[in-house]
Structure 1
Amino acid sequence: MLAFTQVPKPTARVTRFDIERISLREVSFLFDVAVKNPYPVSLSLEALRLIFLVEGTQVAQVQTEKGFSVKARGEKTSRLFATLRYEDVMKAVKNYAEKDYLDTLVKTEIAIPLPKMPGLPPRISFSYDLRSKIPAIKPRVAITRFRIEQPSGEAVGRALQKAGREAASQGEAVQAFKDVLAGKPPKGLIQPKDLDLPLKVSFDIELANETRAPLAFTGLDYRFSVNGQELLTGATQDIARKENRSVLSVASTFSSLALSGGLLEALRARKGEFALEGSTSLKLPDEVRKEPLKLEFREAGSFSLP
């Protein structure tokens, strides 16, 4: 019987290791794994087993979602992904708030079950130590200065005409808008939610990172909801940097048809729950990553109205 040292062996190597995407809550890594199969039967790579050590402390032990197959006497490179949660990193790393970028070691094991052939063990494994740096992120997101502008009498008049209600009192309709925006039930027959009138809205998105890692943005694509009701989608490049905070100013419009449901509840209570989804471009130091990285948002919280 041939010894394993005399039998051709498959090879497996990591040809690329990088940050694939990042959010305020987690960071995902990609692993390009190249496998060469010398056998006359196909091989199946198991999921990668990964141990994440951040600043020298083990943070998580995870597996990629799946492996892949390599045809007989073939070669294949496939991309696998694994995610590290910032919540786990914060629990494990001492003085997390004093950090900017964190040394990250990923101990990687690639296991390949081998065919049942004379001289072959059940499986062969390959180990690699992969290193990277990740920004220390401990976010705080707030919505401030939320304001809906009272429409002009002329604009209300055009909306009444569009709705075929020219006979209605423009003054009564203007007062109805004032009441609703102040959180009061409107008096009279006119309901602002029955008119299609563009209303101007503005607010600030304050994003603070409570560590020493700077988060500098060039713009933000966003989707904004109030009490579960989607209100706005858009983009802003109006960004001011204040210490460890980025203040993104939003100015947009929405239809008065939305003055119902969750938004109406917030106007009446003078407070509400927001959900903010979006993405921006984040530039990390060149030694971490030369190309800008997409940073994704999916945040929620409470806000107040004046």
Structure 2
Amino acid sequence: MVIRYAAGCLVLLVLLGAGCAHLDEGRVPLPEVQVSQVTPVAISFHELTLRVELDVTNPYRTGLPIQSVGAEFLIEGNRVFSSLSDDDFVIPASSSSSQSFTVVLPFAALSESVVAYREREMLDAQIEMRIQVALPELPGLPGSYTFELSDQIQIPTLDPRIRIAGFRVQPPSADQIARAVESAALETGIDQAVGFFSGMLRGQTPQIEFDPREIDVPFVVSFTLELENRTPVVLDFPQLAFRLDVEGVPLVEGISETVEVRGSSTLVEVVNTFSSRNLGEQVIGAFERGSGEFLVTGSAVVDLPEPLKQSLQLEFSEAGSFRLR
């Protein structure tokens, strides 16, 4: 079950103290729901995913459907956002077990609600939950019961942006082009093919009948991927898996281990190759103009700051523009 932020959704809760609620109906057996732990499980440039684990006890011989789960977050005493889910799951019959659900917290909601957000590394948060459980049809029992629980957690701050600097493309050598043209038995002359590739990167592509995708020659692309976080949290990691699309066309992908932290920025140096078979009209157009649009997706394992002391997989997918000349 995933709970996502719902703007303007307010839920009024009554806290029951230790995070454990009981249905008290005298002689009737009592189900129990208790918060075991709340932990971060995934992070992206835009949101943090938390897993809420519950310890539940069902004394009845039938499963108890959980009809809805609501969650509200208070950051340093201020109620900042709410989320609701009506996805169903069932507490197994006659057993004690663990159940879990996830809550997705958008960093934008935090930055809009917390004073001096960019100066903070961690935020103190309280999660308040309403869990509605259907009860069996027994004398003395209502049709359902809502458990009201709470727990504390600290949340890291993120306010990142990404850009590409030093974008360079090195064309294949004349010898590589010559061998590829001869191997493909093209009518295009070797000198014309060499002139096409070198002219394309200068913005002066010759007007000849030549499709670069008919041969397979390597281009070398290099750039610096700059990940800047405008809060005190440092995005430090040993390597980054990435894919770069140019004008909507996948160009290069791989893993870079050349990573350096400078102040609030993490710089990832990328050197990779792509084939002339990737040179469709969109990519050629960007190279001719000397600028274009990119989409970079990637992932890395980052260490969250103390007191969490936890490693999480950071995922991102960000668009922007680059200049070649």
TM-score of Structure 1 vs Structure 2, range by shorter chain: over 0.9
Letter paired with 1:136: T
Residue 219 of structure 1 corresponds to which residue in structure 2? 239
TM-score for the superposition, normalised by structure 2: 0.87
Letter paired with 1:304: R
State the distance in 2 between where 1:233 and 1:78 align. 38
List per-residue Cα deviations over 1:212-236 (Å, max 9, x = no partner).
Answer: 2211122111111111111111110
**Contact map agreement 2:68 2:133 (CA 8 A) in 1:** no
**Contact map agreement 1:47 1:63 (CA 8 A) in 2:** yes
Closer, same or farther in 2 for the Cα pair 1:65/1:219, shift >3 Å?
Answer: farther
Q: Secondary structure at the match of 2:285?
A: helix
Residue 177 of structure 1 corresponds to which residue in structure 2? 197
Bigger mean CA deviation after superposition, 203-212 or 121-130 = 121-130
**Contact map agreement 1:64 1:81 (CA 8 A) in 2:** no
Residue 125 of structure 1 corresponds to which residue in structure 2? 146
List per-residue Cα deviations over 1:150-175 (Å, max 9, x = no partner).
Answer: 2211111121133123x753222211
State the distance in 1 between where 2:318 and 2:210 align. 36
**Contact map agreement 2:135 2:142 (CA 8 A) in 1:** yes
Q: Does residue 1:298 correspond to 2:317, yes or no?
A: yes
Q: Secondary structure at the match of 1:47?
A: strand
Where does structure 1 differ by over 6 angstroms across 4 or more consecutive aligned residues? Answer: none
What is the aligned counterpart of 1:252 among 237, 252, 272?
Answer: 272
Q: Does residue 1:111 correspond to 2:132, yes or no?
A: yes
What is the aligned counterpart of 2:59 among 12, 16, 38?
Answer: 38
Residue 106 of structure 2 corresponds to which residue in structure 1? 85
**CA RMSD for the aligned pairs?**
1.8
**Contact map agreement 1:207 1:246 (CA 8 A) in 2:** yes
How many residues in Structure 1 have an aligned counterpart in Structure 2? Answer: 302
Residue 275 of structure 1 corresponds to which residue in structure 2? 295
Letter paired with 1:33: L
Q: CA deviation at 1:265?
A: 2.2
Closer, same or farther in 2 for the Cα pair 1:131/1:161, shift >3 Å?
Answer: farther
Residue 7 of structure 2 corresponds to which residue in structure 1? none
List per-residue Cα deviations over 1:41-75 (Å, max 9, x = no partner).
Answer: 22101332110122332221112462411343233
Letter paired with 1:301: G
Q: Does residue 1:146 correspond to 2:167, yes or no?
A: yes
Closer, same or farther in 2 for the Cα pair 1:168/1:105, shift >3 Å?
Answer: same
Residue 8 of structure 2 corresponds to which residue in structure 1? none
TM-score for the superposition, normalised by structure 1: 0.92
% identical aligned pairs: 31
**Which stretches in structure 2 are left out of the alignment for 5+ residues?**
1-23
